[in-house]
Amino acid sequence: MADINIQRKKSSPSPWLLVLLVLIGLVAVGYYIFRTDTDQPVETARPIPSVEPAPDSTTGAETAPRPTNDPAVSDMATEEPGASPDELAAFAASGTTAPDYGRRGLEMLSATLLPLADRDDLRDATVNEKRDDLTSATSRLQEQNSSLRPGYVAAAALLKALQQKGYPALEADAGELTTRAEALSGRASTPQDQEQIRDFLTRAAQLLRTISQPAR
């Protein structure tokens, strides 16, 4: 009877083992790729050079005067030139119908007085004080409803100080002018107000004609 050769059937590998091997391979490949990327030097962004402006012939130089907000400079730019006693007298006689007659007359009177207060033979501590009082009293003439009386009183006080400095013969006239200044209402809205201002300005112009001449 013939012998039958019986061979054992080889067992096939488990599918889970194949899946595990594939996963290990993927992990290894991924690790290699990640490590290769991190080993490469990272380039930093280069700073962009600043572009220098082209040289200009006007750079660093003032081509025009700068504007200023300084009130003192603005006042100097708009300050009216000095008037003369004759101009003041002419305005006093002919400008009574102007709506700003009182204000304009006070401005002309101040413009005539202030240069005299700076004259070497008339300037002293009292004159300087009265000059500052007049400047302060007339600094707000442009404001609506501002009273004219403080300005006229200050102008009369400055005129009296100038008279006392070198014109003793005008003492009575200067005192009369001070009295008339204190009697003003501070307005020029009625014919009576305008007449009082006209009389004051006329008398002031007469005094200024003499004070404008060198003291003897």
Mean pLDDT per 10-residue run, the chain (216 residues)? 52 70 80 62 52 44 40 38 83 82 93 93 94 92 85 96 93 95 89 92 95 84
Q: How far apart are CA 55 and CA 61, in angstroms?
A: 12
Which pLDDT score, from 0 to 100, does residue 35 have?
66
Amino acid at 116: L
Residue (of 112, 92, 114) closest to 180 by Cα position: 92
Which pLDDT score, from 0 to 100, does residue 87 have?
94
Please state the pTM of the whole predicted model: 0.61
Which pLDDT score, from 0 to 100, does residue 127 have?
95
* Residue spans of beta strands (DSSP E) within 82-167: none
* Residue spans of beta strands (DSSP E) within the chain: none
DSSP one-letter string for 108-122? HHHHHHHHHHT-TTT
Which pLDDT score, from 0 to 100, does residue 76 have?
32
